[in-house]
Chains A and B, each alone.
Chain A
Amino acid sequence: DGGITQSPKYLFRKEGQNVTLSCEQNLNHDAMYWYRQDPGQGLRLIYYSQIVNDFQKGDIAEGYSVSREKKESFPLTVTSAQKNPTAFYLCASTWASNTGELFFGEGSRLTVL
């Protein structure tokens, strides 16, 4: 089943711990994105990457970090500096020019206790 895979689906962590969410795609897409979804606030962009070894901050990058060492992978680390990390995180990918369909993963729900 080709597509974009996020793991884990559910994650519980204690305050102060860093957490890494995985995102892998086999669609040969150049661009990958991380969005955060909170009730009533839509999808807010955390980080995005148009090409391997390069990425840009989105609108709410504080407290998050990413890497893009391989075209297929774009992991997101939620650091202890993120003040309100409990949320639903969605990874997406598309071809280099962002005027085409974004393909989303199934999401990862992070709960910080």
Chain B
Amino acid sequence: GENVEQHPSTLSVQEGDSAVIKCTYSDSASNYFPWYKQELGKRPQLIIDIRSNVGEKKDQRIAVTLNKTAKHFSLHITETQPEDSAVYFCAANMEYGNKLVFGAGTILRVKS
């Protein structure tokens, strides 16, 4: 079926280290892959997205890579800070782009 798998489910890093979260998707027609950050008690917010016509996108300390052949994409956060602590969700569009399917989420803890 249509699904997005996300790993790891929890990730603890020391402040200043890098964090990597990986996702795989099932629908080969998917062409849009966003990442959302949800802080405790708040709504999810888009932090970065990538479309299938590019392999990598960067925005300051955040980057996303996409491998369409392998159907996986990853979020990279460099120089992590305590305010990066949150739940991160990957997603992929499916059914001809009509719906967004989310991964199960990764709890990121940045220890200072």
Enumerate chain A interface residues (CB-CB to B < 8 A). Answer: 33, 35, 40-45, 48, 50, 56, 58-59, 90, 97-99, 101-102, 104-107
Contacts and interface: CB of A to CB of B under 8 A. Distances in A.
B93 A99 contact: yes
6 contacts: A33-B99, A43-B89, A45-B100, A98-B98, A98-B100, A101-B49
Task: Output the residue of A58, A59, A90, A99 with the most chain B CB within 10 A.
Answer: A99
A93 B44 CA distance: 12
Contacts, number: 58
B98 to A, nearest CB: 6
B93 A105 contact: no
A104 B32 CA distance: 18
B20 interface: no
A40 B44 contact: no
A101 B51 CA distance: 12
Contact of A98 (B36, B42, B44, B93): B93
A104 B9 contact: no
Contact of A90 (B44, B98, B99, B105): B44
Contact of B46 (A35, A40, A102, A105): A102
Contact of A102 (B2, B31, B98, B100): B100
B43 interface: yes
- Listed from nearest, the 4 A-B pairs whose CB atoms lie closest are A104-B43, A99-B32, A42-B104, A43-B102
B38 to A, nearest CB: 9
B98 A43 contact: no
A42 B6 contact: yes
B43 A56 contact: no
Nearest to A31: B98
Interface string B47-59: 0010100000000
B99 A97 contact: no
